[in-house]
Structure 1
């Protein structure tokens, strides 16, 4: 009975939050650019002030990741994001093409639903709140149950900051009694115009099945190829920095390292020197069994954990200071568990003969759960980077840490915690999602060509029927027939 009551309360709360947020959004839609910027600046300020406390809350509640890295993510999702989106025109006339006499006007989408993952709960909430307000949308969050407290706190802080700067009350909402019923209600309710889904594959598929527009992101299974011209110490440093960043909880983090035979020993030595531990086949098997549950889903107790914790959980001993665990794999798929996505400090390690074999392996790995997302290559050969640009992903990250590169922290990509995988990965966009994905654009188009003076010449009824210009009319045919008959008669008389 208690569960039944909880579910009813959960669904009713969701309906109330959605109605309130939709009313607030209707008001926000009337705001001008100056008003919106004032609101966002205050949200960024509050996010900065609470970056540390929110990071601590997230780690304490979920057990995932590292406090210092979650602090960075909270600041990246606010201060860095703001600097990038500040010049974006998302209100009123955003383009006036004098030549083609075409005016483009931005309109908000309406009320958004934000699905929040347990791996990046506070930073994703901050990020989605800010891009929603920038485009004059309201947003209601569905938190992951295991990250409820920190997600709820981040959403409250963002709402209070927005309201304090002039936004309508309840412009940012969050379900406080999460349940599948509440999430489904929010996905399908009339008030929600667009869903932004960040989470597991099942949740993203559910968002796309809700019968309304959705921006979902698929999983990443990022291969990192160290090509023979690479700066090996730098490549290894970047991979370790990326894989240990928040203990591998970002979906753009590397999952497999691929090296050519000619570099194998050198790369292995460099990994060992920088804190990598190469597991024996037996140790690899123990870790793999501990990492995954059925259908290669990750064991939640191993997500975002340090190498030491994972080793201890698997009953193996590793040197003090070990940063990442590497397990050699000789194929992709069921028999090779480390060929799947691992949101933690474990890497698969592959050796190939040459770059062509590396190409084939990258495609197999991507098809094993990462199509459309990201690929990492370390090379000093620009032509080689372009060869790998042909692979089925939308982010080819060159000579950088993949986690930081994919979200735009170390590259020129748009700062984002929603990384689209395009149609290849089942997503509606291949972009790093920004406020520009959250607006409708209406167009005022003036006539610039007088098509009335370019009509084809008029034809007779017969010409129209025959479809041939200059065709003979029925009267003309009868006239010729009569003349022939008249001639024949005269010949007969003679």
Structure 2
């Protein structure tokens, strides 16, 4: 039997009423403690404690102070605030960030020099509007002759979270809303290359929470983030859960901490286009996803495998959408510009050719037109560069995070699936297929095993951008949590009113 929230509240009220009546009817000894009724709180009436640690709206000089303050705030948040208080404070956060979306988009671009303004506005707006709050937390109930059981989602406590340079403020907002919705507090170790704008976002969130009646320091960060500060957060006994959004090295370090970790690692999403696809729509979707914010998102289309019989038509449609095709000489020039020699011999991909190269950080997230200018092509405005290469090319095997999209011709769907799976490198992140053949779609989805699989749409629809479902900036493929939300940041607890307990069915 499934109960709704109203039924659960009625049951709990009845049980508590019976308990209080039993206490009132007995004669306690003079030294026995008397029951204390909890104060009912609201965002307007709640007071909050200021910690003794010196800080500026959640930004602390050292890790220990940031964690101590977050720990005090979390205890108050969990014990003294109701769900309606969480909801009203989260709504205040949404409103405050939406009012400053333009500013944060410009300031993020100015500091990081990655991506583009319009897409940053769209990305942050999506994050604010479609990150779920407490509504995604659900209580499961079981009732029968042997009593009543509740399974509830409860907070971990203090969470340590690491954010990337590619989506700095978006990740803070997304993680922040989800984590406090679940009853936690969070200590952020932001990316050093985005620390100024990340600091401003953390301060805005703190100011908004306090103004709305919440506790100070529910969201904190260390002022000067480093690799060492990540380890300090991971090793602190008050931090109960670790969440990392970024590169594979960072995720691996969190997993070695001995604590539960939610890790969002690298991706290299392949796209397959078969002969049954709507090529015009496929081109439009690929253009949108691969060029969005200069391909900074890990879910974005990174390489295309297209059946040879429709390859020319797909390329024609992509060019009609505004893409620019590089010739062989320009591909070589672009490689010299955007890739660098892998002198240490560390594998950059699975193929022999990819082992010779690494992506140059200087060109991550840069405009396609700027890349063209630097290889001698002037006065061309485009958001996406195309190149025809084979499957072993570095642009296929490396996760570039640049608006350069390699296209690989294949002779069969079997070849397409095999090469797409190889290029994805087992990251289990995202894959896209444009096809109206349900058998082909099913085969690819099973073979690739990614967290997000999109059929006949842009990769962006996988996180709710012109698609259904909620959004996230932390896609936990390596650790299996998938598209994260407030539910990810909870631990299950079971409460049992056993034999002879409350039961209204009989």
**Both proteins in one fold, TM over 0.5:** yes
Q: Which runs of 5+ in 2 are unaligned?
A: 1-58, 349-357, 501-506
Cα contact 1:330–1:336 (8 A) shared by 2: no
1:20-419 counterparts in 2 under 5 A?
20-30=69-79, 31-81=81-131, 84-89=132-137, 94-99=139-144, 101-293=148-340, 294=342, 295=346, 296=348, 297-313=358-374, 315-317=375-377, 320-332=380-392, 336-367=394-425, 371-390=427-446, 391-402=448-459, 404-419=460-475
Q: Which runs of 5+ in 1 are unaligned?
A: 1-9, 422-426, 450-494
Instruction: Find runs of 4+ consecutive structure 1 residues off by over 4 angstroms.
Output: 446-449
Task: Report how far residue 338 of structure 1 moved.
Answer: 3.6
Q: Measured at CA, do residues 78 and 46 of structure 1 come closer, stay the same or move farther in structure 2, by a change above 3 Å?
A: same
Task: Report how far residue 118 of structure 1 moved.
Answer: 0.6
Distance 1:303 1:366 in 2: 19
Cα contact 2:262–2:481 (8 A) shared by 1: no
Cα contact 1:257–1:350 (8 A) shared by 2: yes
Cα contact 1:201–1:219 (8 A) shared by 2: yes
Task: Report how far residue 188 of structure 1 moved.
Answer: 1.3
Q: Which has the higher contact order (CA 8 A, sep 6+)?
A: 2
Task: Report how far residue 88 of structure 1 moved.
Answer: 2.2
Distance 2:208 2:450 in 1: 38
Task: Report how far residue 414 of structure 1 moved.
Answer: 3.1
Q: Deviations over 1:403-439 (max 9, x none)?
A: x123222333431111121xxxxx2224200000111
Distance 2:60 2:471 in 1: 34
Distance 1:318 1:274 in 2: 20
Per the normalisation by structure 2, the TM-score is 0.80
Cα contact 2:481–2:488 (8 A) shared by 1: no
**Higher Cα Rg, which structure:** 1
Match of 1:17 in 2: 66
Root mean square deviation of aligned Cα: 2.0
Cα contact 2:451–2:483 (8 A) shared by 1: no
Cα contact 1:366–1:392 (8 A) shared by 2: no
Q: Measured at CA, do residues 86 and 410 of structure 1 come closer, stay the same or move farther in structure 2, by a change above 3 Å?
A: farther
Task: Report how far residue 207 of structure 1 moved.
Answer: 1.3
Cα contact 1:371–1:392 (8 A) shared by 2: no
Greater helix share, structure number: 1
How many positions carry a matched residue from both structures?
Answer: 424
Task: Report how far residue 278 of structure 1 moved.
Answer: 2.2
Q: Measured at CA, do residues 168 and 85 of structure 1 come closer, stay the same or move farther in structure 2, by a change above 3 Å?
A: closer
Cα contact 1:292–1:298 (8 A) shared by 2: yes
Q: Measured at CA, do residues 362 and 430 of structure 1 come closer, stay the same or move farther in structure 2, by a change above 3 Å?
A: farther
Q: Which moved more, 1:43-52 or 1:412-421?
A: 412-421
Per the normalisation by structure 1, the TM-score is 0.82
Distance 1:68 1:277 in 2: 20
